[in-house]
């Protein structure tokens, strides 16, 4: 059964932590502004699914990257149309393609930073198991 985020929460799970683990959890909660229960569910989802469970601001950043990628795709379509027309604008088009290539690389790096930031959130003393 898949783990869905929007299902009604009806089960309670208690866990015992050492003072150090509890302190680290409280510190992480304060530092990130994320409730302890949300952090625990996030960790569980990541362990079970093997995927990164993005936080709200990270999801928004990914959606913005997707929007940027669509805009780049639209620009590439316009460039392809001009090339197919053969109207002699190849130098300008080459510059446009280079700018788009640079923007794609920026988007890729932004995506990698988002994923790395999500993966880097750990309890400092314990790291990722």
User: Could you give the CA distance from residue 46 to residue 39 in angstroms, rounded to a whole number?
Assistant: 11
With a threshold of 0.85, does the pTM exceed it?
no
Rounded to 10 degrees, the C-alpha dihedral 47/52/57/58 comes to 170
Whether the Cβ atoms of residue 78 and residue 120 lie closer than 8 Å to each other: no
Question: Tens digits of per-residue pLDDT, 2-35?
Answer: 555 667 878 888 889 999 989 988 998 998 888 9
pLDDT in tens, 76-122: 877 777 777 776 666 677 777 788 888 888 888 888 887 777 767 65
């Amino acid at each position: 059964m898949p783990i869905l985020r929007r299902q009604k929460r009806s089960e309670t799970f208690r866990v015992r932590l050492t003072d150090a683990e509890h302190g680290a959890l409280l510190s992480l909660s304060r530092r990130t502004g994320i409730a302890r229960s949300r952090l625990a569910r996030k960790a569980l989802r990541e362990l079970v699914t093997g995927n990164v469970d993005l936080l709200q601001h990270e999801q928004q950043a990914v959606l913005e990257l997707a929007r940027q990628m669509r805009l780049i795709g639209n620009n590439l379509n316009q460039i392809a149309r001009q090339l197919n027309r053969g109207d002699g604008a190849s130098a300008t088009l080459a510059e446009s393609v280079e700018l788009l290539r640079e923007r794609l690389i920026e988007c890729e790096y932004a995506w990698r930073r988002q994923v790395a930031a999500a993966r880097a959130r750990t309890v400092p003393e314990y790291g990722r198991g």
